A and B are shown apart, each in its own frame.
Chain A
Amino acid sequence: MRPLNGIRILDFTHVLAGPFCTRVLADMGADVVKVNSTVRAAANNAPNSPYYAIWNRNKRALALNMSDDEAKDVAKSLANQADVVIDNFSIGVLDRWGVGFDEVSKTNDQVIYVQMSGMGAGGPWSDFVTYAPTIHALAGLTYTTGVPDGGPIGVGFSYNDHQAGLHAAVAILSAIEARRQTGIGQRIDLAQFEVGVAMIGVSLLDYFANGKVAQPCGNRPPYDKFAPHGCYACRPEGDDILDERWLAIVCRDEDEWQALCHVMGNPDWCRSEAFKTMDARCENAESLDSHINSWTKARDATTLMYALQEKGVPAGNVQPGIDLAESDPQLKAREFIRFMEEPHPGLGVTFADRLPIYFEKTPCDTYERSRTLGEDNVSVLADWLGMSEQEVRSGEENGHFT
C-alpha cells in the first residue's frame, strides 16, 4: 500500500518538468499512464533514451496516435476515467486534440486538469517557448548565481524543471484535497516561469522594500552575516578540473568558529583582531578565506570534513556525480541508488535514485523500469476502458495505438 494508490493520472507530459511531477506521484503509488506516440518518440522523448528512462519509471506506457480520430476518442474516454490529466505542452495543444479542459470537464467534472506551460495561459508571453535554461534566465536565477563581476553563470542543471514538477505535484494533491470538500475537480494553470520567479521571492521583497537589486555573491550568503562561508580548494587528485577537491565550510556562530580554529591547530592569525567577532570576520572575509585556503590546499577534503564535523563545524565535500554514485556512504546506507530488477529492452540495466521521502506506514520502495512505446497498451486499455486484448491489438494494427 502506497499513499497514492487508486489515483489515476493521464500523462501527456514530455522532457523533464512534467515527467518529474508524474514520476514523484507514480513513486507514491498513483497509476500514471504515460501517453506517447511513434511520431513524438524522438530525442529525449524516445523510450530508449536514458533521459526518458530516468523520468518515466513506475509508469505504464500507452501509445496513441493523436493524429488519428479513433485514438483521440480513446484519449477522451481515458480522460473521463482519470482523476488527473496533465500536460506540459504550449497552451492549446490538448484542446486541439479534443482533450482540453473545457471538453473533458463536460463529461468528467471530477477531473483535475493541469497545464504546466512555460508562461501560463494568458498574457503577452503566453505562447513563448521555454526550457529550463530559458526560465532560469528570465526569472533571475542565471543572473544571481555567479561571482561578483564574473558575468552570469547560473545553475548548472535544469533546476527549475525539478521545482516545476514538485510544485505541480503539490498543486495536484491540493486539488485532490479540495475535491473532497467541493465534490468537483478544477483546472490548474502552472506557469513554470512563475515557479522560477518564486524562487527569488526574498530578493524581490528586498527590491520592493529597499530598492536593492540582488547581485551574484559566489558562496557568500547574500543577506546574512556568516563567515567563513565558502568552498575551499583541497589537495587535488590530479591535474584535470574533475580531479579538484573542494570543501565547503560554514561558521554561523562563535562556537563553530572556535571549533574550526581548534581543528586548524589554533594558528596565531585566528586570534587577530581582524577575525575576533563575526562582524570582523565578515568584514575581512577575503583575508579569512585566504588563510583557510592555505590550511586546506594540501590536505585531504574527506579527512578534513570528518575532523570538522566531529567538532561541530558544518563542513562537506563538494561531491561530483561519481562520488554520489560510488562512494557517498550516506547514500549507500540509505540504498539511494538501486538497479531495476528487469532489464530495459533498449538500455539493459537501468537505475533508480530513490524517492527521498520515507513513509512509516506506506513505504514507497517499488521501482520498475520505464516502459517502451505502447508496452502497456493492453493492460491500460483493459483496466481503464475494459477493452479486450483483441480490440487493442486490432487498434495497434490499424495505427490507432502506435
Chain B
Amino acid sequence: MPNSRTALQQTRIVDLSDDKSIYGVKLLSDMGADTVRPEISSGDLLRQRGPFDENSGESLWYTFFASSRRHFTVDENSSASLYELNALLRCADLCFLGKENALAEKVNLDAARSRNPKLVVVDVSPFGSAGPWRDFKAPDLVASALGGSSGVTGDHYTPPLKLFGELNFMISGAYAATAALAGLNHVRESGEGQRIEVPVHECIASSLEHVFMWYFHHAQFPNARAPALERRGSLHWTNLYVVMPTKNGEMMVTPTPNMEAQLAWLVEEGAFQDLLDPKYEEPENRRQYFTRLMEVLREWVATEDSEELFRKAQEHHAPYGWVQTVAEVAKNPQLEARSWWDSLRLGDRNLPSPGVPFQFSDTPGSVVESEWIETNGSSVLENIGWEA
C-alpha cells in the first residue's frame, strides 16, 4: 500500500520491468508511488534470483528490488486476464517495460496510449531499439564489458572485473527513474504522455567518470601514456587515491584535497621522512614529490591501526576511507544515528532493511513490505482501487 503523505502518492505505476530497471521502480515505489507488479501464473522469474532467506526460502534479491509494491497474478493464457492487465494501463501514469519480463510483450501499448494519452512508457533494454547491437543479449557481465566499466576495473593480475552484484543495472535503473519523472513532469505541464527509451549500454558508458575525458584530453595529463588507462587495482586515475594495508586492515588513503595539511600531519606524526627536502619545492620535482608522498604514506599507514587512523584522518579533514565488509557496514554508527534502516517482515521474522537513500523533510519515503493481492476472479482494477 502506498505510504501516507509521500512525494509520489498520486503516481500510479505498472511495473513490467526486468532486472535492468527494477531498481528504478523501487526508488519511486519507496517514495510512495502506487506501484503494481503483475506476475505470470508460474511466478515472477526474478523471484528465482539469489540469495534466499534460509528460513522462509524467499528471494532476498526480490525482497530488496521489488519492495513497496502490490503483486498479483495474471494468467498469460487467459484473454480476460490479459484484458485486465491492459486495462491497468488506462489508469496508470507510468509503465516500466523490460523485455525479459514475461508480461511485457502481452500488453498492447498502442491501444493503451491511445486510450490514455498521458501514459509515460519507460522502455529499458540493453541497447535500445536501433543500432547494430539492438538484438544482442547483455546480462550484467556482458553489459559491464561492452559498456566500459569492466575495462577500468580489476588489476594487472586479474581479468577485467565486473562490478559486484547489480551495480551496472542499478545505474540504468536510476536513469530509468529519472527519465520517468521527467516524462511525468512533462505530462503535468502539457498533458502529453510519451514513450521513453533508456539503453543500458549508454547508461553505463555515460557513468565512467574519467574514461572519455582521458581519451579526448589525455595530452593535458602529465601521467598519461596513452588515450586509455589500464585497469590498475584501487589506484585512482589521478594516482592520488589508493587502498593501502594498515596494521590490521585496509584503508583508502589520499593526500587530497589539501596536500600541505597532509604533510603537516605526517610531520606531527614524525613520519615525514625526506618529504621536507627543499628539492621537492622545485616545480620540476613536483611529480617526483607526489610519488614519494604516496610511498611515505604507504610505509606509515602500514604501522597504524585502521580504526584509529580513520578517526585521526577525519579529525585532520582528510577523506580517508576505512575498507569495510558488509558486516561492518551493517553496524555502522552513522546509519544507526540517522535511523536509516527500515524494517521488513520475512517469513516470521522482522529484519532490518536498507532504507531510502534520501531523506525528505515533509514527504519522507520508506521501504515497505510488498503486498499480495488475491483477485479471486474479480476485477483487478476493483481490487487495487484504481479508476481511469
Contact = CB atoms under 8 A, between A and B. Distances in A.
Interface string B175-190: 1011101111110110
B334 A125 contact: yes
Interface in B194-247: 194-199, 201-203, 205-217, 220, 226-234, 236-237, 241, 243, 245
Given A136-B321, A159-B163, A154 B234 contact: yes
A141 B164 contact: yes
Interface in A248-307: 248-250, 252
Given A142-B234, A186-B362, A357-B179, A219 B174 contact: no
Interface stretch (B56-64, B270-278, B293-301, B377-385): B56-64
A387 interface: no
Given A177-B11, A219-B162, A133 B333 contact: no
B243 A355 contact: no
Interface stretch (A61-69, A208-216, A389-397): A208-216
Nearest to B359: A189
Given A191-B357, A198-B357, A361-B186, A321 B212 contact: yes
Interface residues of B, number: 155
Interface in A58-85: none
A153 B362 contact: no
Contacts of B210: 51, 157-158
Nearest to B167: A199
A319 B148 contact: yes
B102 interface: no
Contact of B215 (A24, A135, A171, A322): A322
B64 A336 contact: no
Given A159-B207, A213-B325, A218-B161, A182 B252 contact: no
A209 B143 contact: no
A356 B234 contact: no
A356 B199 contact: yes
A201 B158 contact: no
Interface string B15-30: 0000000000001100
Contacts of A129: 257, 314, 317-319
B132 interface: yes
Contact of B64 (A161, A184, A205): A205
Contact of A136 (B142, B201, B252, B361): B252
A97 interface: no
Interface in A195-231: 195, 197-210, 212-214, 216-219, 221-225, 229-231
A9 interface: no
B150 A204 contact: no
A155 B170 CA distance: 14
Contact of B226 (A3, A230, A242): A242
Interface in A140-189: 140-147, 150-159, 161-163, 166-171, 173-178, 180-182, 184, 186-189
Nearest to B212: A353
A152 B243 contact: yes
A210 B353 CA distance: 13
A139 interface: yes
B43 interface: no
Nearest to A101: B361
Contacts of A360: 194-197
Given A3-B185, A224-B49, A325-B216, A174 B60 contact: no
Interface string A309-350: 100111111111111110011110110110000000001001
A233 interface: yes
Contact of B201 (A151, A189, A315, A330): A330
B61 A202 contact: yes
A351 B214 CA distance: 12
A325 B215 contact: yes
Contacts, number: 513
A321 B229 contact: yes
B369 interface: no
B153 A140 contact: no
Contacts of B373: none
B234 A152 contact: yes
A396 B196 CA distance: 43
Contact of A156 (B53, B137, B153, B181): B153
B231 A24 contact: no
A257 to B, nearest CB: 13
Contact of B141 (A175, A248, A350): A248
Given A178-B8, A321-B214, A198 B354 contact: yes
Contact of A208 (B151, B232, B324, B352): B352
A246 B145 contact: yes
Given A166-B174, A197-B335, A205-B353, A315 B142 contact: yes
A50 B216 contact: yes
A205 B49 CA distance: 13
A180 B250 contact: no
Contact of B209 (A158, A176, A322, A354): A158
B188 A321 contact: no
Contacts of A209: 51, 53-55, 60, 346, 349, 351
B335 A156 contact: no
B138 A314 contact: yes
A118 B229 CA distance: 27
A188 B360 contact: yes
A207 B359 contact: no
Contacts of B212: 54, 321, 324-325, 337, 351, 353
A207 B358 contact: no
A190 B335 CA distance: 13
A231 B145 contact: yes
B254 interface: yes
Contact of A150 (B127, B158, B175, B199): B158
B333 to A, nearest CB: 5
B61 A223 contact: yes
A137 interface: yes
B146 interface: yes
Given A197-B335, A250-B139, A252-B139, A138 B321 contact: yes
Contacts of B333: 123-125
Contact of A3 (B157, B182, B214, B363): B182
A222 to B, nearest CB: 6
A210 B52 CA distance: 9
A242 B230 contact: yes
Closest 10 pairs (CB-CB, A-B): A137-B321, A356-B202, A173-B181, A223-B50, A134-B321, A123-B337, A156-B152, A248-B145, A166-B174, A156-B153
Given A321-B214, A357-B198, 13 more contacts: A120-B334, A152-B243, A175-B363, A177-B8, A177-B10, A180-B10, A194-B358, A200-B329, A207-B327, A208-B353, A328-B146, A347-B217, A358-B199
5 contacts: A159-B149, A162-B209, A200-B164, A218-B158, A356-B199
